[in-house]
Amino acid sequence: MIKLFKNTCLSLRSLTKLTFVFLLISVSCSDNKTYSLKTSEQVLEIRKPIHELYKSLKLEDEKTPNFEFIYSLFTKTAKLGYVKDDSLILKSPNEYFSGMKGAIDKGIIKLLHEWEIKGKTEYFGNVAHHLSTYGVYFGTTDSIAERGVTSFQLIRIKEAWKIQSMIWKAEDESSKIPSNYLEN
């Protein structure tokens, strides 16, 4: 009787192990995994113009940003806005970046490097939102000159993602960036 009980238990264990292995293989080959990969690829595609913008906002070693390329990352009706005190200042990409270009041409800006510290993307169809915590070196790389949060709104037009708007707020004494916007 004990021998039969042991054999039955061993058979059940073997069956349980085989079932687990089968389920593991089934799940790893399922459509859900493919969808997950497609989602990741989609998010990377959405983030592409944002990462290109950050990569382009760099002035070092006499190399200046390619402003024509920067303009191409935006829709024709795009708006850029920054929160200053309790107001919103809106400009077109051309208005905003021409001011930066003028300061570079006059030698006022000699070193500039902006990058994303952390970001999160959400999307539905051809509409997306990306919340980006950024850092900026200005004049020196010894310390961060500015940190803040930018809200990007993107639209997919003719198979390409473009930035429709971006609004940002720099961190200050009265408005500190929450830790969950900084941690990976």
Write out pLDDT tens, residues 131-167: 999 999 998 899 999 999 999 999 999 999 999 999 9
Q: Residue 14 has what pLDDT?
A: 53
Instruction: Report the distance separating Cα 94 and Cα 113, nearest Å.
Output: 19
Instruction: Report the distance separating Cα 183 and Cα 169, nearest Å.
Output: 18
Structural fold of domain 46-181: Nuclear Transport Factor 2; Chain: A, (3.10.450)
* Contact indicator for 135, 146 with CB cutoff of 8 Å: yes
Strands 127-138 and 87-91: unpaired
Instruction: Report the distance separating Cα 177 and Cα 164, nearest Å.
Output: 24
Q: End-to-end alpha-carbon separation of the chain, Å?
A: 58
List, for residues 81-94, the tens digit of each pLDDT value.
Answer: 999 888 999 999 99
Domain boundaries in the chain? 46-181
Q: What is the DSSP letter of 181?
A: G
What's this model's pTM, rounded to 2 decimal places?
0.76
